[in-house]
Amino acid sequence: MAAPRTKLLVLNAGSSSLKFKVYRWLGASADTAAGAASGSRAAGGAADLQPLAAGLCERIGDPAGGALMRVRDTLTALAMPLPAWTAVPC
């Protein structure tokens, strides 16, 4: 059996913003991963997660838009327009 993945990406997409966080899943044993895959709430909690990175893009489609990203203790800011996007029909 393959080793369970130990990183978790959480996305929050709004109409003009995108936020994300990346966590390391600390107690990711085979039993814990199997419980998480089955939807068991006993598979772990917030204490089992270590934040690795976070960021956001705000004011998408506005010339005053920008992005921030924090990885460990380094904060990177981008002050640049973020062009609007449109959904492509599948």
Note the pLDDT tens digit of each residue in 11-50.
999 888 999 999 998 874 545 555 555 554 445 556 688 8
Q: Comparing C-alpha atoms, which of 69, 68, 31, 27 is closest to residue 8? A: 27
Residue 2 lies in a domain: no
- Asked if residue 87 is part of any domain, the answer here is no
pLDDT at 3 over 50: yes
- Is the pLDDT confidence value at 54 over 90? yes
Decide if 48 is inside a domain: yes
In-domain check, residue 86: no
Q: Which domain holds residue 54?
A: 7-79
pLDDT at 8 over 70: yes
CA distance readout (Å), 37 to 30, 33, 77, 80, 82: 11, 6, 36, 39, 36
Is 69 a domain residue?
yes
Q: CB–CB of 12/19 below 8 Å?
A: yes
CA dihedral 79, 83, 84, 85 (to 10 degrees): -120
Overall number of domains in the chain: 1
